[in-house]
Amino acid sequence: MNSRLRHVGVVGAFVLAWPALADVKLHGLFTDNMVLQRGAVVPVWGWADEGEKVTVEFRNQKVSTTAKDGKWMVNLKRLKVGGPAELRVTGKNRIELKNVLVGEVWIASGQSNMEWPMRASYEPEKEIAKTRNPLLRLCTVPKTKADAPRDNVPASWQECNPSTTSNFSAVAYYFARDLAKALDVPVGVIHTSWGGSPVEVWMRKDVLAANARYKTEILDGYDAQAAKYKEELAKWEQEQADARKEGKEFKKRRPGGPWKPTELYNGMIAPLIPFAIGGAIWYQGESNAGRAHQYRSLFADMIRNWREDWGQGDFPFLLVQLAPFMAIKEQPVESAWAELREAQALATKTLPKVGMAVITDVGDERDIHPKKKEPVGARLALAARKIAYGQDVDYSGPTFKSMKVKEGKAILSFDHVGPGLEARGGELKGFAIAGPDKKFVWATAEIQGEKVVVSSAEVPEPIAVRYGWADYPVVNLWNKAGLPASPFRTDEFQMVTRK
C-alpha cells in the first residue's frame, strides 16, 4: 500500500470506525489548544461502549452521562473567558486536553478567497512574521466530499504563530486578530472552505429538494451534468488508451466533474455541528455569479440552513461582497458580478444579524484572488463588533436608502452615513443614470450634505441611477469612518442572470 492510500485509509478509519472502539473517544474538534465558546451552553461529545459512564471535567464543572447507542454528550454551563486550562474526559480510559482557552469561536467558510493562505497574500514574509499570538487558535477542516453527512473530522487546534499561520486562511487570520484585540478575549477560528465551490454544495439536500426551483435547476441539473461528464470521461479514457496503444503522446486534459450539491455540507459542515460558536464569516459567490438571480434566495436559504442545524438561534453571519475583477469597461454595461453583489447585499436586509464587508477598493482586473486580505478581515471584524457584540462602532459604508427626482436631478439618500460622506481622491465617480429608454450613461455626482445628487445633460428625465454596477467597479464614495459604499441600483430592470 503506498503512502497516499495508507493516509486515506487512516482518515477513513478515524471518521467511520471510532464509535466501534472500546475506549471513550472525543469528537475530533476537541483537541489540545482549542477554544471553547464563552457565555454559551457548550456541548462536549464523542463515543463509548454502550452503557459506559462518561465524565467531563472543566474548571469547576463536572458533568456525567451514560453512552447510548455508542454515543455520549454532555453540556457545560456558560463559561467565562479565561485559560489556559485542562479539559478531562473519563470513562474506561482518561483523556486530558491541555492549553484550552475560553473565548470566541467563529466558523470561516466559502471558496478560494476565504481559503487563500497568508503565504500567498500581500507581503507574506513581513505579515507572517508578526502573527505570533497565543490567544489566537486556528483549526482547519480537511477537504472532504461526502454523499451523506459525516459525524466526525480529523481536526487539530494550533496556537497562532508564523509556522501555523503560513498556510491558514488570510481573511480568517486578520479577522481573528482584529476581533481578539477589540474584545480583549481569546479567539478561535474553524476554517472550512474549498476553492471554486458554489453555494449549493454547502447546503443540506432536503433544503434544496423542498424548493421547486432548486430541485429543477440544481438537483436535476446536476444529474444531467453528471451524465454528460460520465460520457466525456469515457471518451477521454478511450482516446488515452488508443494513443498509448499507438505509442502516441497524449496531452488532452482529463475532463473535470461537476460539483455535487450538498457534498461539502456533508463532509465539512455537518461534522462540526453542534460545536458551540459565536458566529460565521463567509467569502463566496464567484462560482454563482452566472446564477445571481437564483442566489438572491439560495444564499439566504443557506444561512437559514446553518442556523437551523446549529440550534443556536440567529447567530451572526458576516459575508464579504465580491471584489472587483475583470476588465474595466469604458461605458456602463450589465454585469452578472454586479447582480451577485446585489444578491449578497439582499441577505443583510432580509435576515437578522447578517453583515457585509464591502471591498470595492481591494480588487485586481487580472486576478480573481486579490492579494490584500487585511482590509477584508478588518471590515469583517468591525461588523462582528457591532452585530455580534453590540459595540458602538461604524461597521458599514454607505448603503442606498432612497431616491427622489427633482428638476432633472436624482437625489440619493443613504444609510450608514457615519460622520459624513466623502469622495476619496477627487470628484465622485462610478455613477450612471438612465431615463425612460433605460439606457445608462455616466453621470456627474456631487455630495450635498448627507445626500448625493446625480445628473447628466444626456438624461433630462432620470428614472434610475446605478453606482459601481460593473464587474470591476471604479468608485470612490466612502463615509468618513473610512468605509466604502456598497454598489447598488435604484431600478428593477430585467436581470441578465434571470432565466
Per-residue pLDDT tens for 192-220? 999 999 999 999 999 999 999 999 999 99
Residue 8 pLDDT > 70 = no
pLDDT value for 14: 39
- Residue 287 shares a structural domain with residue 411: no
DSSP state of 120: G
- Residue 197 shares a structural domain with residue 110: yes
Residue 66: pLDDT band with limits 50, 70, 90:
very high
pLDDT value for 22: 73
pLDDT value for 499: 77
Question: Percent of the chain beyond pLDDT 90?
Answer: 95
Asked if residue 21 is part of any domain, the answer here is yes
If phi > 0 it is left, if psi is from -120 to 50 it is alpha, else beta; for residue 41 that is beta
Asked if residue 138 is part of any domain, the answer here is yes
Average pLDDT value for residue range 311-321: 98
Asked if residue 173 is part of any domain, the answer here is yes
- Residue 147 shares a structural domain with residue 97: no
- Asked which of 41, 73, 101 is the last residue of a domain, the reply is 101
Look-up: residue for cell 464563552? 38
CATH number for the domain that contains residue 341: 3.40.50.1110
Average pLDDT value for residue range 283-292: 98
Q: Do 436 and 463 form a contact (C-beta atoms < 8 A)? A: yes
Average pLDDT value for residue range 180-185: 98
Query: What does DSSP say about strands 440-442 and 431-434: parallel, antiparallel, or unpaired?
Result: antiparallel
Of 15-19, 57-61, 414-418, 465-469, where does mean pLDDT reach its minimum?
A: 15-19
- Residue 58 shares a structural domain with residue 110: no
Mean pLDDT of the chain: 95
Average pLDDT value for residue range 342-350: 98
CATH number for the domain that contains residue 69: 2.60.40.10
SS3 content of the chain, % helix, strand, coil (to 5): 30, 30, 40
Asked if residue 51 is part of any domain, the answer here is yes
- pLDDT tens by residue, 84-113: 999 999 999 999 999 999 999 999 999 999
pLDDT value for 240: 95
CA dihedral 163, 164, 170, 176 (to 10 degrees): -120
Residues ≥6 apart with Cβ < 8 Å to 88 = 56, 57, 58, 94, 95, 96, 97
Residue 20: pLDDT band with limits 50, 70, 90:
very low
More confident residue, 7 or 246: 246
Q: Do 275 and 29 form a contact (C-beta atoms < 8 A)? A: yes
pLDDT value for 12: 38
- Residue 151 shares a structural domain with residue 284: yes
- Residue 13 shares a structural domain with residue 49: yes
- Residue 166 shares a structural domain with residue 308: yes
CA dist 301 and 213 (Å) reads 13
If phi > 0 it is left, if psi is from -120 to 50 it is alpha, else beta; for residue 222 that is alpha
Residue 276 pLDDT > 90 = yes
Asked if residue 498 is part of any domain, the answer here is no
Asked if residue 310 is part of any domain, the answer here is yes
Asked if residue 283 is part of any domain, the answer here is yes
Residues ≥6 apart with Cβ < 8 Å to 106 = 172, 175, 176, 179, 187, 188, 189, 190, 277, 278, 279, 280, 281, 384
| DSSP characters over 371-439 | S--HHHHHHHHHHHHHHTT---------EEEEEEEETTEEEEEEE--TT-EEETTSS---EEEE-TT--
- Asked which of 387, 419, 437 is the last residue of a domain, the reply is 387
Query: What does DSSP say about strands 354-357 and 399-406: parallel, antiparallel, or unpaired?
Result: unpaired
Asked if residue 420 is part of any domain, the answer here is yes
Domain encompassing residue 14: 3-101
CA dist 361 and 484 (Å) reads 8
- Residue 125 shares a structural domain with residue 94: no
Residue 117 pLDDT > 90 = yes
Residue 3 pLDDT > 50 = no
Cα–Cα nearest to 153, from 251, 325, 277, 18: 18
Average pLDDT value for residue range 324-328: 97
- Residue 451 shares a structural domain with residue 469: yes
Number of compact structural domains in the chain: 3
Q: Do 117 and 166 form a contact (C-beta atoms < 8 A)? A: yes
- Residue 284 shares a structural domain with residue 345: yes
Look-up: residue for cell 459506559? 52
Greatest alpha-carbon span in the chain: 82
CA dist 346 and 233 (Å) reads 39
- pLDDT tens by residue, 376-394: 999 999 999 999 999 999 9
- Asked which of 361, 387, 413 is the last residue of a domain, the reply is 387
Average pLDDT value for residue range 226-237: 96
Cα–Cα nearest to 329, from 365, 293, 286: 365
- Residue 405 shares a structural domain with residue 476: yes
pLDDT value for 13: 36
- pLDDT tens by residue, 139-161: 999 999 999 999 999 999 999 99
pLDDT value for 305: 98
- Residue 405 shares a structural domain with residue 333: no
